A and B are shown apart, each in its own frame.
Chain A
Amino acid sequence: MSVTQLPEPLLVPLGASPVPARHLRKKRGDGRWAAIIVFPNLAMFTIFIIVPVLGGLYLSFTSWDITNGFPKWIGLANYRQMFHDPLVWQAAETTLKFIAFGVVPTVIISLWLAMLINFRFRFFTVVRSLYLIPAAMSFAASAVVWRYIFQDGPGYGILDYVITRFGVTNPPDWLASTTWALPALDIITIWLSLPIATVLYLAALQRIPDSVIEASTLDGCGAIRRIRYIIWPGVRYMTPLVAIVALLSFTNGSFDLVRILTQGDPINATQTLIYYIYFESFDFGAWGYAAALSVLQIAIIAGILLILRGLSALVNRW
């Protein structure tokens, strides 16, 4: 849950913050003071963010690994290698699957949860805490707990025990299964992302006046029509923000959980791109190649963000 509150520049064109006309009445700007006050921030930001990003871009055009001590310029060779590396394609596909099967359920379930708790009752604050508390957990801590919940073997895993009670005869091996390992990681990340997403939708729901919902009920509006014509138009503007927050959480989860729980196994079924980058750089020492993979990872995130922006335009009309 690293980033929960997103600035509006992500939803409106970047850098387009309009300056109200009355601000312009004084001719002299605040340039000198602005420079002094923002200096520490920008200095740190430049040293530890901008320089590494540009450095990474440079490294992606070099051959630099454990065997040679200095980055050597090799042009586009890393990118060429990347396109011919089947593991890259597999990892990119795994990453996209992990994100899609995670973000979409997070959006739907969180809207449902928000609708569920959007009314006043006696122990509202206590019950709301039950929904929010998972947000106070880390990937590492929840990994340890969920590893136990997902444990396989006859009659061991808590989850398998519960679902057999509900009639499932052949419960999956979860983390040890090539089919179920990735969905298992998705379940953990969805669980961790739901609190923030729910709170965001709840904030939007609470702006719909109770009287409007009551009136619709009195008019004989059924649940489905109420959601479609009253609730959804009231909360849809929040959906892109929920999706972006979830996307960030799934980007982080695709490393932490994989590193702790599966290390990319079984048979690369959970090898996400970001874990492959880690593997190539820290276990394999191919830093130049890892830098090129990082550029791909950033490009994928940028692509998803662009799609989300397109979708949000669509969502707001629907």
Chain B
Amino acid sequence: MVISPRLTRRVRVIVAVVVGVLMSAPLLYMLAGSLMSNSQLSDQPPQFIPNSLHFGNYPAAFSGMTQVIEVRSFVNSLIFTVGVVGLQWVLCITGGLVIAKMRFRSRGLITALFAISLFIPLLTTLIPTFIVTYKLGLINTYPGLILPIAAQTGFGSLLFRQYIKQLPEELFDAARIDGANWWLMLRRLVIPLARPATAAYLAISVLTAWYMFLWPLVAAEGGSLQVLTQTLATVGTTSNQGAVTPQNVIFASVVIVTLPMILVFLAVQPAFMRGLAGSGVD
């Protein structure tokens, strides 16, 4: 090799940056497109960096002839996400503790059930799930929207199991000697110590819930429980008034829906990386 290590390193940084920009290019293009006028968008050759900025696309996505996003579906998405993630967290951290640290006969069976459930896509059990929810009288209600998804505890329980299992046994022994029961150990020991696992869990489950498409599609037939993903799915074909929504407003709408998740994702990124790094592979 005649090339100096310093030059190799510099080339490597440049390649890493260029490929990184390419990887996020569709996102960056969406952001650029959301700030262009329609004539800028259809320019030939295409503009990648807008030569003038149009912020009007954002209010246009919320109102008037071009409305894509109803405040109502934004609120529904929020209620759905908070409901699913909050309830599921309680179920998963308790389930994780039980299969990680407690001794009882059917532990292996429960663990296996959780693992198997990961590979049964919701779509294949959609009709029976719908029937169960219907029989409970929950179709077109918030509980009907939230409960069946919060019940998908397989993934979260196994994630918490993974983390709780490697907490030192001595901690639990000490707590036991101090007379603590499992409920107390859950509250005082497991929940505080499993904070990194909770962060990784949040990163994943908030995204999943916010973007859930299929279940809200069938569980909320009426318009009043519509969530954001549904409004996005129909956009680009027709708008509320039957007119085609302009592409720049579509881009602005996607940015509005995606931005909260990008912020969540960047905020939990360190914990997410740590959670992944120590996951399922040790």
A and B associate: yes
User: Residues of A at under 8 Å CB distance from B?
Assistant: 1-11, 14-17, 19-20, 22-24, 29-31, 33-38, 40-42, 44-45, 47-53, 55-56, 59, 113, 116-117, 119, 121, 127-149, 155-156, 158, 161, 191, 194, 196, 199-200, 203-204, 206, 237-238, 241, 248, 251-252, 255-256, 259-260, 274, 277-278, 281-282, 287, 290-291, 294-295, 297-298, 301-302, 305
Q: How far is the CA of A261 from the CA of B157 in the complex (A)?
A: 34
| B124 A136 Cβ-Cβ under 8 A | no
Whether A134 touches B26, Cβ cut-off 8 Å, given contacts A10-B115, A56-B124, is: yes
The answer to whether B254 touches A147 (Cβ under 8 A) is: no
A199: contacting residue among B111, B154, B273, CB under 8 A: B273
Query: Do A17 and B108 touch (CB < 8 A)?
Result: yes
Indicate with 1 or 0, residue by residue over B140-165, a CB within 8 angstroms of chain A CB atoms. Answer: 00000001101111110111011000
Q: How far is the CB of A275 from chain B (nearest CB, A)?
A: 9
Q: What residues of A have a CB within 8 angstroms of the CB of B91 in the complex?
A: 40-41, 44
Q: Are A194 and B211 neighbours in the complex by a CB distance under 8 Å?
A: no
Binding site for A on B (CB under 8 A): 9, 12-13, 15-17, 19-21, 23-24, 26-27, 29-30, 33, 42, 44-46, 90-92, 94-95, 97-99, 102-105, 107-121, 123-129, 131-133, 147-148, 150-155, 157-159, 161-162, 169, 181-183, 186, 200, 204, 207-208, 210-211, 213-214, 218, 229, 232-233, 235-236, 247, 250-251, 254, 257-258, 261-262, 264-266, 269, 273, 275-282
CB nearest neighbor in A for B48: A158
Pair A44/B147 contact, Cβ less than 8 Å: yes
With known contacts A137-B258, A142-B26, A203-B276, A113–B214 Cβ distance under 8 A: no
* List of A residues within 8 angstroms of B20 by Cβ: 117, 127-128, 130-131
- A204 and B269 CA atoms in complex are apart in Å by 18
Q: Are A137 and B103 in contact (CB under 8 A)?
A: no
Q: Is the CB of A38 within 8 A of B110?
A: yes
Can you sample 12 A-B contacts with CB below 8 Å?
A: A17-B111, A31-B105, A49-B117, A52-B131, A52-B132, A117-B16, A129-B269, A135-B207, A144-B254, A237-B281, A278-B126, A301-B119
Q: Pick from A1, A117, A121: contact of B204, CB below 8 A.
A: A1
Q: Is the CB of B232 within 8 A of A141?
A: yes
Which of B27, B132, B147, B218 interacts with A51 by CB under 8 Å?
B132
**Beyond A49-B125, A203-B276, 18 additional pairs, beta carbon < 8 A:** A7-B114, A17-B111, A36-B183, A40-B94, A48-B132, A48-B152, A55-B132, A113-B19, A121-B13, A121-B16, A130-B23, A139-B213, A144-B232, A147-B236, A158-B46, A206-B277, A259-B213, A301-B121
